[in-house]
Chain A
Amino acid sequence: MSAETGSADFHASSSKALLDPSLRANFRRAMDGLMAKRAAQFPDPAEWEALRSLAASIRARTLAKLPELLDALETRCAANGIRVHWAETTDDANEIVLGILRARGATRLVKGKSMVSEEMHLNDFLEKNGVESLESDLGEYIIQLDGETPSHIIMPAIHKSRQQIARLFGEKIRGAEYTEDVDALTATARRVLRRKFFEAEAGVSGVNIAVAETGTLVLVENEGNGRMSTHVPPVHIALMGIEKVVEKLEDVAPILTVLTRSATGQPVSTYLNLISGPRGPGEKDGPGEVHLVILDNGRSRIFADQEVAATLRCIRCGACMNYCPVYTRVGGHAYEAVYPGPIGSILTPQTEGLAKRHDLPHASSLCHACVEVCPVKIPITQILVTLRKESAHASPEFLVKGAGGGRDRLEDLAWWGWRMAHVSPLLYKAMSLGLRVFGPLLKGGAGPLKAWTQARTMPRRAPRTLHDLASEKGLPDA
């Protein structure tokens, strides 16, 4: 992924994505479906407003008390027998996971869905170190089989049609015949992965919510692969970002209801797995060890900047991408980032730095749809504008990583000229005269207007300037 090696270019990758009709059809169909299902879950606007205010208040309280809640979470988890590890960077987190596996000689691992593990590029790292790390969520399994990354944080394989998946299974899975029947494809994955759950020496999962009050890890899922990954292997390693904690157990209830309804339009997920410790005394199953890795990876820096800190309220429901007119058209891969869509466009530039990802705050029309559906009221568009500003200017009060890194000297010069022309009457007249003389020579589709007129009509010049009209009316010239 180019986001890893150098600066990425959303303009180029989105232009390419727009030319792929099957990709666009797959996303259009999926996003229409997800929007309809979500909308059906919130028929009462008053209830929706009250619920999102509650969820937002819970997440804001988390941020207000974050250091003490993390401290309490660690204490409670430790008392419950969960071993807590802290990682400042994704490299550190990868080493912690590998260390746990090496200490037990584990080389076969099954994974439940975890966006933090995507941030870490954990699978690649473990494969390089001789550990088989197998995704078990059906969508994640599909894209891992095809060597891809998720294109959506909830529906990772949403960019693929069933025909593409059918071909993939036929090619990559021994004993699988080409079939477009979704039940048959699902049954094939079940058969393969059951063996893997059985054999796995360790399981990795994400964490949807960690409860400081009780030292509980809350996992939300529909498939049962999360339960398989966390209950069957002898070791369970859970990965979370520092922002995933909540203060009280009762805070879980409102977060869950807005999460599942916003994400997939379900009133509730099939499973809610509350893990508060390893196998207890006398218990016949469950992992003997549970580890919790708490990852920073730039989050504490976001936390320090009150203008953008609301980014950390996110509960990863994905509604902002489902409703985003940009995301729906270009798909998730065009963002060249772990988190695509509106939330990714505010998160990625902050974690990777504006010098590298100053393109992403512009991957939006600022239409506000993401803000309207966000269940925790993140002011996404406001943060996008802040990031655009901080990308173009470096100022001591701008705390975002790489502030000023998106600065373009030519753009600066153009705006400087524009400003000067508008504060000096003499220069303004000179500009008017220049446009009158040279304006007719400008043609659409060529020269400086080529890029502009590619997707827009050629601007029409008024035959007479405002100055002329004003002086005709007898208004005095300034």
Chain B
Amino acid sequence: MPDARERILGRLRAVKPHAFTPSDFSIVETKTWSPAARLERLRTAMAAVRTEFLDAAAHDWPETVRAFLVAQGARNVAYGPATEAGRLLAAACTRAGAPALVPYDRPVEDLKATLFDDVDAGFTAVRCAIADTGTLVLWPSPEEPRLLSLVPPLHVALLSAATIRDTLLSVLRDEGWAKGLPPNVVLVSGPSKTADIEQTLAYGVHGPKRLVVVVI
């Protein structure tokens, strides 16, 4: 007896193929901005959904982040210690008065309680960003796990302005995503939000309550 798969596909294959016309992507392809306009557009779009921005220089951003975390009263920050950005942040947070470092260097099973109950901030880098919609592309990896940008109430994301592209379409084409993707890629356009009660916007429902983008 054929199984469910064979029966479903058999029924679909028994039908004369439906007609279709080729897709014309030009309406999406023609959206482009100058590099300066891209950053401006990204900031405007993300600020409209309550994303906060910190400006920093390429050499002193770890200090900017450290000072910001201290000013916000963050007791600690979770980060990926094996990443370049993680190492630089850790170096800035070794002095007295800096938030404690919570390296995400072991399986979540050994860190889950800390992560859910005791971490104030999570730090990640941003792979690239999308000007069109004001979106950060996060690329979780063994060195920078998925939950860093999800579980702590404050997410600090390091964005290099030079990596901002025009649209989602241009990013996935230019980077060749169709050749294969890692187990998880997340695009983030603001802090967690909901409008499920009377369409009233409320922030910080399940994911981070605040998203802070450090632009270098």
A residues whose Cβ falls under 8 Å from a Cβ of B: 26, 29-30, 33-34, 47, 50-51, 53-54, 57-58, 60-61, 63-67, 70-71, 74, 80-81, 86-88, 92, 136-139, 142, 155-158, 160-162, 165, 182-183, 185-187, 189-190, 193-194, 197-198, 213-214, 216, 222-225, 227-228, 231-232, 242, 248-254, 256-257, 264, 267-286, 294, 296, 300-301, 303-304, 306, 309
Contact = CB atoms under 8 A, between A and B. Distances in A.
Contacts of B16: 306
Given A214-B177, A227-B150, A231-B150, A283 B141 contact: yes
B124 interface: no
A214 B198 contact: no
8 contacts: A51-B27, A61-B23, A182-B202, A183-B202, A231-B184, A281-B142, A282-B142, A283-B140
Contacts of B206: 136, 190, 193-194, 197, 223-225, 227-228
B192 A276 contact: no
Contacts of A301: 11
A224 B150 contact: yes
Give 6 closest A-B pairs by Cβ, nearest first: A224-B207, A282-B142, A139-B196, A268-B133, A50-B27, A285-B108
Interface in B95-117: 104-108, 111-113, 116
Interface in B1-54: 3-5, 7-9, 11-28, 45, 49
A423 B20 CA distance: 43
**Of listed B19, B107, B150, B196, residue having the most chain A CB within 10 A:** B196
B170 to A, nearest CB: 9
B4 A285 contact: no
A283 B207 contact: no
A30 B146 contact: no
Interface residues of B, number: 81
Interface in B112-159: 112-113, 116, 132-135, 140-142, 145-147, 150-151
Nearest to A140: B196
Given A53-B24, A60-B21, A214-B181, 20 more contacts: A50-B24, A60-B20, A61-B22, A70-B8, A88-B8, A182-B198, A197-B206, A216-B181, A222-B194, A222-B195, A227-B146, A232-B108, A268-B133, A268-B135, A268-B187, A270-B192, A274-B181, A284-B104, A284-B105, A300-B8
Nearest to B117: A198
Interface of B: 3-5, 7-9, 11-28, 45, 49, 104-108, 111-113, 116, 132-135, 140-142, 145-147, 150-151, 167-169, 172-173, 177-178, 180-200, 202, 204-208
**Of listed A60, A270, A306, residue having the most chain B CB within 10 A:** A270
Contact of B192 (A222, A267, A281): A222
A74 to B, nearest CB: 8
Contacts of B191: 270
Contact of B183 (A29, A224, A269, A280): A280
A85 to B, nearest CB: 8
A106 B39 CA distance: 46
B146 A285 contact: yes
A284 B4 contact: no
Nearest to B176: A249
A273 B186 contact: yes
A285 B178 contact: no
B14 A271 contact: no
B185 A274 contact: yes
B147 A232 contact: yes
A274 B186 contact: yes
Nearest to A87: B4
Contacts of A66: 12
A138 B205 contact: yes
